[in-house]
Structure 1
Amino acid sequence: MNQKKIDFAKKLIGRKFDESCSEELLQSILNGTHSLKENKRAGGCAGNAERVLPDNEMVIPSVCFSCNSTCEVLIYKDKNTGKIIRVEGDPDSPQTKGRLCSKGLAAKELVYSPKRLLKPLKRVGERGEGKWKEISWEEALDITAGKLIEYKEKYGPEGLALLEGTRRGWSRVYTRMVNLFHAPNHGAAGWAQCLWPRLLDCNLTYGGAQYGETFDFPNTHCVLAWGVNPATCWGVRAGDIMDAKERGAVLIAVDPYFSETAAKADIWLQIRPDTDMALALGFLHIVISENLIDEKFIREWTYGYEEVKAHVKEYTPEWAAGITGVPADKIRKAARVYAKAQAACVIRGAALDEIHDSVQVCRATSILAAITGNIGKKGGNIITSSRGDISQNSHDFIYSAQIPEEIKKLRIGYDRYPLLTQEISPVPSAHMPSLWETVLTGEPYPIKCAMIFGSNAMVSYTNSDKIKEAISKLDFLAVCDLFMTPTGEQADIVFPASSWLERNNVISSFQSSNSYTLIEQKAETIGESKHDVDIIIGLAKRLGLEKYFWEDSDRYYDYLLSPTGYTFEEAAKQRRLFKPITYHAYEKNGFKTSTGKLELYSKLAEHYHCDPIPTYTPSFQSFESTPELAEKYPLIMTASRHESAFRHSENRHQPHLLELVPKPYLYINPDTAGKLGIADGAKIKIESTAGQAYAFARYTEGLREEVVQGTIGWPGEYNVNKTVPWGQYAQGVGTVCCRGYLCRVEPVNEQVY
């Protein structure tokens, strides 16, 4: 960043965040005079104008699945060549109103990349040597299914590691196959690190209803964005929040970094990484001690309020300020604004999933929403409507109960991390760090065969050097991906997967829409790449599981839509399925907990030997908890920054996206960098107790001097996950703390061009 940019940034944010321009708005919340204004754009679609296409063009309405936002799009094709010309946001979409991020706009580069895998490959050289032979789908599936059967017979079903990545509409089909094959060691790099802690909170607190993950932004007076920056990772919600702001809603952002969301906030709480529990408990103390609660809702619909009230008495805002670095007066103001708003909603993100007390801090935010009466109400945290399609996200769909109990108990981490590995989990799965340690050591049993769908494991897992070492110990590895990744380079068989532009899909998720089931339509075919669902069905047939699956992916989507009365083809003509939100849904059937109420004191958490009320514990590594370590590693690392151009380790084969983010950056305060002799843009080395990685310094006034922020997803020496330590994990779920561990940074004496 040159000096002019630095000076401009200082003018924008200064040394302190200036919220004086929001004072009148904040006071209207506090004195009860706040009202919302009409936002015509937010209330409906952006267009409905008839589009006039050139004679050679046709358009296919679809859904971009570059990330979990799944934004509705229009795919323009050349009638003569059949090739995709461009992808645009759909201005008639009630979900996005025409918005689309850079990943969607650059999707043509994804589908036509010259680096795409086009045929199944079999390794013919040494592992990692890069020598491959193209083979038929029949041979690739036969070999892989044969190896799965062979190693299951040799080592037992526990001797297989069947892993996957982020969801793309096929994830639960994969899990279904794994469970029916009785393989207990299933999982993903991100489940204990992303979303699962929030969903576990929903299970523990609401009895499974996902109030913590659904938000009535069109009617809210206050948005509390805690550990989430939707502008870079959740485009649909970023638009919703800005629409809410335009209507007059207050935005409170909790973030260590001056993110896009913090920049738009009326109150920005610049918290130290991994101290969110202290802030949440401080909020609860203020709300309860000042009686800013919904007494009727607490009395009629909650369990354990008196226990929570006694528990948070000691957690004063002054105490919280000492830990979080957020001034006590600012904590008071934010808590009061949230609690006094006519309706408020909390939106949470992966930052809460990736800290040392992940599930518990999510629980604390749900308790805050509950005691202020913001559950199920208009403008609060709500649940999505049911459009009638079959949910893939149920234990019945994935046949969780099919694995015999004696085999379930062999799952790695079964006793130590019950919230992840047992039936309370959204998808019961193994604890990933412990599983990779098992692959390395052979204890408590050998794991010699693995299959990985949609995950670049050697980049996406924390403590990545350990993953690389563990993969080298496998006898057989099959990988399914769009590109040859570092993980694929180590495989014996590689399946070429299709992109979202090459497949149909039915998308029904709170991450996409509160009220709509979306229909994704295929627009292209590339080489011999296949939909993951069809690959999984092909494997399932060879594993003797044919009766549990469908003829192909098209019949699968017909099945999902069957209760609605539509086939996939008929639903595609409808564009989307709709059902309105039902407020106060709990009034009909209560909450599916043991008490029938929303459990502030969680009896289910207690059953699993976890804290029934969220309790503060210090970070695994910090200046206070590990002072001797802090002398060697004097900076706090938060290692999971998402760049809007990328999705985890994806999209780095797309030239236009690389123009936006050409290098792996480490964000660092200029004053800190100056003391360390690090110039803006210079190559630097990051070291921790786990290992080391490299990056390029990017100056920002938006971080505290003691905090640095790494960017995930880059391969090789630039993989910041190499620095994320193992050994201590979140209670019950086993989350690796990758936002809030200690590191040191130093310049590298290399010429950088």
Structure 2
Amino acid sequence: MADSLIEELAQKLRIIPNLDREHSPESGAALRKFPSPDDWHDHVELDANEWPKRVERRYSLVPTTCFNCESACGMLAYVDKESGQVTKFEGNPQHPGSRGRTCAKGPATINQIQDTERIMHPMRRIGRRGAGGWERISWDEALDEISAKIRASLKTGAKDRVVYHVGRPGHEGYANRILKAWGVDGHNSHTNICSAGARLGYGLWHKHDRPSPDHANAKVILLTSSHLETGHYFNPHAQRILEGMMDGAKLIVIDPRLSNTAAMADHWLPTWPGSEPALFLAWAKMILERGLYDRKFMQNWVNWEMWLDAAHPDEPRTFERFIELLLEEYAEYTPEFAAEECRIPVEQVIEAGEAVINAGSRLCTHVWRAAAIGNLGGWQVARTLHLLNVLTGSVGTEGGTAPNSWSKFKPELFDNPPDPDGWNELHYPPEYTLSHYEMSPILPHLVKDGRGTMDVYFTRVFNPVWTYPDGFSWIEMLENEEAIGCHIALTPTWNETAFFADYVLPMGHASERHDINSYATSAGKWVAF
């Protein structure tokens, strides 16, 4: 209502907008954040685009997940019951990982579904590969032609010439099952340019190569590299880190940049990139010196006796002697040494270290990319970071850090085919014996050196021409029809790599897909579709 005669007159003359509205019959109802699941089959709300008219729309709310990163946060697709079209996406409050909240990418999924650049039908190349000529074909034509090429390759007996190169998985291993059924060693991934460094560090501890931190119940939260706003699991982790901090947890961020996350930390340590292991080993030494290690956990779960047999066969095989020898092993890793290596004040090393070493079983740590993947020997960042969890016994505890597989549902598939009787040296060259994942960053160079060729090459939501450092080497490989007999790009939209395909097959976004999702976004196991 206008508060004065002047305002009322100005509204009538349209000098200022009239924001008055009719009294809503629902104005007395209790406020709510989300529609009740009981109403999802027939939800009614006003169309915001029709304001100031009060136009009601009826929707079916269909649970789905976001496909824009690996968090798989829950969303509700609002399907207009009159048109059958998805009109928007909002968070799904029933999803235990994201709990109704999404980052900006979730609601933006509607822009992807309505993208004018979407590929809606199978496309086949016309003319030279990369020239930009395409024609629309039917799914039957695409499947018949591609399957004939796969069959021709398999009939040769080759075990390494049909390849499925994946960027964003979303199929929970089912594609691997198909490759094994064909008898080929054909799976390739982007992981070695993404996270293999951190994965190796964790895998060397307990096979499970990713962490699952329980931020909400932690006493100390230790994040390494630009974690929250740029890393995997941003939204579900952010929620629980805030909950932990509100409950008194201290946040320590190790990042050369004063990131948004670092700006909110109790301790920000801008370490020199790649020097982080020196810091973690200094804190490990502090734990050992003060006797703050979890003796029961270490005695039962660490292979200390094997280490004594291998490194000190003449020493007594007692846990006490093991600790003494471990202190000797880490003698050089003083706070002063860490400060010099990391190029930060020694006072910072000690002050943040006091919080870490006194966290006990509620030390919650996490690293993914950056420090662990961007430096030579970066796998030691994850390995030494998790050493702090091992020493404090905060592995799999409330407020600690668990192996990711404990919080991830992985379906057991029926009638599993045997592993292929062959080895794809384009993926795992023998000179890279200790590679933790496929050596995909050097695939074009191996092909150029004459190490192998591919009859059929699938790229699935994978755009190395844009995302890999040497995109032009990928273009050179993809243009070479002798190196790659047939390239099929599986993608929802055009990208730089699909431009060099022979066939482009459209894929769905979010509500259009039927994948099983389960990721270690929190200290609990959940499944979404």
* TM-score of the pair, normalised by structure 2: 0.79
Relative distance call for 1:158 and 1:383 in structure 2 (3 A) is closer
Matched to 2:110, the amino acid is K
Query: Which residue number in structure 2 is paired with residue 376 of structure 1?
Result: 396
Displacement, 1:221? 0.9
Question: Partners of 2:122 and 2:185 in 1: how far apart?
Answer: 27
Displacement, 1:387? 9.0
Query: Which residue number in structure 1 is paired with residue 485 of structure 2?
Result: 475
Query: Which residue number in structure 1 is paired with residue 428 of structure 2?
Result: 413
Match of 2:211 among 205, 210, 213: 213
For the Cα contact (< 8 Å) 1:287–1:336, is it kept in 2? Answer: no
Displacement, 1:182? 3.1
Query: Which residue number in structure 1 is paired with residue 450 of structure 2?
Result: 442
State whether structure 2 residue 124 is matched by structure 1 residue 122: yes
Query: Which residue number in structure 1 is paired with residue 14 of structure 2?
Result: none
Relative distance call for 1:438 and 1:459 in structure 2 (3 A) is same
Match of 2:346 among 321, 325, 328: 328
Displacement, 1:77? 2.3
Displacement, 1:371? 0.4
SS of residue paired to 1:517: coil
Cα shift readout 1:542-567 (whole Å, capped 9, x = no counterpart): xxxxxxxxxxxxxxxxxxxxxxxxxx
Which structure has the greater CA radius of gyration? Answer: 2
Structure 1 stretches lacking a partner, 5+ long: 1-45, 521-753
Query: Which residue number in structure 1 is paired with residue 245 of structure 2?
Result: 245
For the Cα contact (< 8 Å) 2:200–2:379, is it kept in 1? Answer: yes
For the Cα contact (< 8 Å) 1:91–1:97, is it kept in 2? Answer: yes
Question: Partners of 2:182 and 2:327 in 1: how far apart?
Answer: 47
For the Cα contact (< 8 Å) 2:282–2:335, is it kept in 1? Answer: yes
State whether structure 2 residue 517 is matched by structure 1 residue 507: yes
Query: Which residue number in structure 1 is paired with residue 366 of structure 2?
Result: 347
Q: What is the number of equivalent residue pairs in this alignment?
A: 457
Displacement, 1:361? 2.2
Cα shift readout 1:398-437 (whole Å, capped 9, x = no counterpart): 75x5211xx22745434333444xxxx6xxx531134321
Query: Which residue number in structure 2 is paired with residue 56 of structure 1?
Result: 57
Query: Which residue number in structure 2 is paired with residue 357 of structure 1?
Result: 377
Cα shift readout 1:77-96 (whole Å, capped 9, x = no counterpart): 22111122221123454432
Displacement, 1:455? 0.4
Query: Which residue number in structure 1 is paired with residue 355 of structure 2?
Result: 337
Question: Partners of 2:467 and 2:154 in 1: how far apart?
Answer: 26
Query: Which residue number in structure 1 is paired with residue 291 of structure 2?
Result: 291
Displacement, 1:184? 2.5
1:350-749 correspondence runs (5 A): 350-351=369-370, 352-383=372-403, 390-391=410-411, 401-404=418-421, 407-408=422-423, 410=425, 412-420=427-435, 430-443=438-451, 445-447=452-454, 449-473=456-480, 474-511=484-521, 513-520=522-529
Displacement, 1:446? 3.5
Relative distance call for 1:158 and 1:375 in structure 2 (3 A) is same
Query: Which residue number in structure 2 is paired with residue 647 of structure 1?
Result: none
Cα shift readout 1:652-675 (whole Å, capped 9, x = no counterpart): xxxxxxxxxxxxxxxxxxxxxxxx
Matched to 1:226, the amino acid is T
For the Cα contact (< 8 Å) 2:93–2:100, is it kept in 1? Answer: yes
For the Cα contact (< 8 Å) 1:64–1:72, is it kept in 2? Answer: yes
Question: Partners of 1:463 and 1:187 in 2: how far apart?
Answer: 18
For the Cα contact (< 8 Å) 2:465–2:471, is it kept in 1? Answer: yes
For the Cα contact (< 8 Å) 2:216–2:240, is it kept in 1? Answer: yes
For the Cα contact (< 8 Å) 1:285–1:317, is it kept in 2? Answer: no
Question: Partners of 2:416 and 2:373 in 1: how far apart?
Answer: 24
SS of residue paired to 1:86: strand
Relative distance call for 1:360 and 1:446 in structure 2 (3 A) is same
Displacement, 1:162? 2.6
For the Cα contact (< 8 Å) 1:176–1:398, is it kept in 2? Answer: yes
Query: Which residue number in structure 1 is paired with residue 165 of structure 2?
Result: 163
SS of residue paired to 2:527: strand
Question: Partners of 1:432 and 1:202 in 2: how far apart?
Answer: 21
Relative distance call for 1:184 and 1:92 in structure 2 (3 A) is closer
For the Cα contact (< 8 Å) 1:385–1:514, is it kept in 2? Answer: no
Please provide the CA RMSD for this pair.
2.8
* TM-score of the pair, normalised by structure 1: 0.57
Question: Partners of 1:432 and 1:224 in 2: how far apart?
Answer: 31
Query: Which residue number in structure 2 is paired with residue 725 of structure 1?
Result: none
SS of residue paired to 1:402: coil
Query: Which residue number in structure 1 is paired with residue 3 of structure 2?
Result: none
Query: Which residue number in structure 2 is paired with residue 223 of structure 1?
Result: 221
Matched to 1:327, the amino acid is P
Relative distance call for 1:482 and 1:261 in structure 2 (3 A) is same
Query: Which residue number in structure 1 is paired with residue 194 of structure 2?
Result: 194
Matched to 2:249, the amino acid is A
Relative distance call for 1:247 and 1:398 in structure 2 (3 A) is farther
Question: Partners of 1:432 and 1:387 in 2: how far apart?
Answer: 28
Question: Partners of 2:166 and 2:329 in 1: how far apart?
Answer: 40
Question: Partners of 1:397 and 1:355 in 2: how far apart?
Answer: 42
For the Cα contact (< 8 Å) 2:77–2:88, is it kept in 1? Answer: yes
State whether structure 2 residue 157 is matched by structure 1 residue 150: no
For the Cα contact (< 8 Å) 1:194–1:354, is it kept in 2? Answer: no
Matched to 2:355, the amino acid is V
Relative distance call for 1:462 and 1:178 in structure 2 (3 A) is farther
SS of residue paired to 1:479: strand
Matched to 1:292, the amino acid is L
For the Cα contact (< 8 Å) 1:391–1:397, is it kept in 2? Answer: no
Question: Partners of 2:230 and 2:416 in 1: how far apart?
Answer: 31
Percent sequence identity is 25
For the Cα contact (< 8 Å) 2:223–2:365, is it kept in 1? Answer: yes
Match of 2:135 among 111, 133, 136: 133
Cα shift readout 1:299-341 (whole Å, capped 9, x = no counterpart): 2321236465433221222222222222222112222211102
SS of residue paired to 2:77: strand
Relative distance call for 1:463 and 1:309 in structure 2 (3 A) is farther
Question: Partners of 2:398 and 2:44 in 1: how far apart?
Answer: 41
Question: Partners of 2:433 and 2:180 in 1: how far apart?
Answer: 18
For the Cα contact (< 8 Å) 2:279–2:338, is it kept in 1? Answer: yes
SS of residue paired to 1:279: helix
For the Cα contact (< 8 Å) 2:214–2:364, is it kept in 1? Answer: yes
Question: Partners of 1:375 and 1:197 in 2: how far apart?
Answer: 20
Relative distance call for 1:66 and 1:175 in structure 2 (3 A) is same
Question: Partners of 1:409 and 1:310 in 2: how far apart?
Answer: 44
Question: Partners of 1:348 and 1:483 in 2: how far apart?
Answer: 31
Structure 2 stretches lacking a partner, 5+ long: 1-31, 46-55, 305-321
Question: Partners of 2:459 and 2:404 in 1: how far apart?
Answer: 31
Query: Which residue number in structure 2 is paired with residue 315 of structure 1?
Result: 333
State whether structure 2 residue 73 is matched by structure 1 residue 82: no
Question: Partners of 1:496 and 1:274 in 2: how far apart?
Answer: 40
Question: Partners of 2:195 and 2:508 in 1: how far apart?
Answer: 25
For the Cα contact (< 8 Å) 1:163–1:453, is it kept in 2? Answer: yes
Relative distance call for 1:282 and 1:292 in structure 2 (3 A) is same
Matched to 2:284, the amino acid is L
Relative distance call for 1:138 and 1:166 in structure 2 (3 A) is same
For the Cα contact (< 8 Å) 2:172–2:411, is it kept in 1? Answer: no
Matched to 2:518, the amino acid is S
Relative distance call for 1:402 and 1:94 in structure 2 (3 A) is closer
For the Cα contact (< 8 Å) 2:109–2:510, is it kept in 1? Answer: no
